[in-house]
Amino acid sequence: MTLRGTVRTSYEVLTSRFGPPTFPQVDDGGLPAEDSTLWLIDTPAGRVHVHNWLDVTYFLKRPAAETRWSIQATDDAALPWIYKSVTGSTAAFSAGVHEFSRYSTRVSLARGYVTYLVQRMIALRERGERYDQGSREHRHQIELSRHVGHMALQVQQIVHDVEWAYADDADRRRWTTLPMPQLADEPESQHWHRWTRWTYRPVPTDSRPEGGDPDLVGMLRRRARDQVRFRDRILPANHRGPTREGKVELYDEHIGTLLTLADTALPDTVEQSRS
């Protein structure tokens, strides 16, 4: 588990989202037994530590004061979940890591965001399946799940285009000869990733006859512009209701996430971070 980024928020917000901190424990005298404050949070992407070196007595005196909290995790896929829980949106999650980019790149953050979208797609669908199929809530959750799934596929295509552009001939041969993924006893999100990798086909262009595209920033910005047009076309203003409002919120958050990911000062790949 390594430092992945930070989030600025208050002790009050964190306790409202996650309950009391996991540490410190209180000793026999009613005082905190540790000199820092820590939450251990289990997300769909794995366990996360949200930590500050100040002890809890500092925060109990000023619970509404904003402070920088570190986020430690095994990879970047947990970051969108923490930002969604704490701020209500994934839009700024990539901006939280630009000062701590030792382990993160724009590609790794894009991969993490894809994993978040796939896990959210599954969660929305499973929530909808708990309702009667003829109910409005069932249709609402299933419809939102489909839109999130489309978003995941679009960002995954961008990630694969970049990976293909930077791959050498040996890596490309291995990729194109992957066997078709079979249904196995594995998480659905893991199967989704294997399936989309197997179905990826690079599209040749005049400038890149081998296919792929190294311009990650440009592709993210173009996808954000496309999503603005798509949102405005499929969500006419005269259609009111919770499903439309849910879609608007989804697309606004997705567009913001893509633009912030494009604008954050990070290397695109590990190779660029070493140059």
Question: From the CB of residue 262, how many other CB atoms can be counted at a distance below 10 Å?
Answer: 19
Q: Which of 55, 75, 95 is the last residue of a domain?
A: 75
Enter the pTM of the model.
Answer: 0.91
- SS3 of residue 133 by DSSP: coil
Asked if the structure places residue 230 within a domain, the reply is yes
- SS3 of residue 26 by DSSP: strand
- Residues 165, 212 within the same domain: yes
- Residues 164, 218 within the same domain: yes
Asked if the structure places residue 87 within a domain, the reply is no
- Residues 247, 171 within the same domain: yes
- Residues 64, 152 within the same domain: no
- Residues 117, 234 within the same domain: yes
Instruction: Give the Cα separation of 214 and 216 in Å (integer).
Output: 6
| 236 Rama class: left (phi>0) / alpha (psi -120 to 50) / beta | beta
Q: Which amino acid is at 270?
A: V
- Residues 112, 213 within the same domain: yes
pLDDT by residue, tens only, the chain of 275 residues: 888 899 999 999 999 999 999 886 544 444 544 578 899 999 999 999 999 998 888 898 999 999 999 999 998 999 999 999 999 999 999 998 866 667 789 999 999 999 999 999 999 999 999 999 989 899 999 999 999 999 999 999 999 999 999 999 999 999 999 999 987 778 899 999 999 999 999 999 999 999 999 999 999 999 999 999 988 877 665 555 666 788 889 999 999 999 999 999 888 886 554 44
pLDDT at 247: 86
- Residues 64, 126 within the same domain: no
Asked if the structure places residue 81 within a domain, the reply is no
Asked if the structure places residue 70 within a domain, the reply is yes
- Residues 244, 129 within the same domain: yes
Total number of domains in the chain: 2
Q: Could you give the strand order of the β-sheet that contains 66-73, starting from the edge strand earlier in sequence?
A: 2-10, 66-73, 46-52, 37-43
Q: Which of 75, 91, 118 is the last residue of a domain?
A: 75
- Residues 160, 244 within the same domain: yes
- Residues 46, 182 within the same domain: no
Asked if the structure places residue 92 within a domain, the reply is no
- Residues 130, 208 within the same domain: yes
pLDDT at 232: 82
Instruction: Give the Cα separation of 226 and 170 in Å (integer).
Output: 34
pLDDT at 119: 96
Domain boundaries, position 37: 1-75
- Residues 123, 233 within the same domain: yes
Q: Which DSSP state fits 67?
A: E
Asked if the structure places residue 200 within a domain, the reply is yes
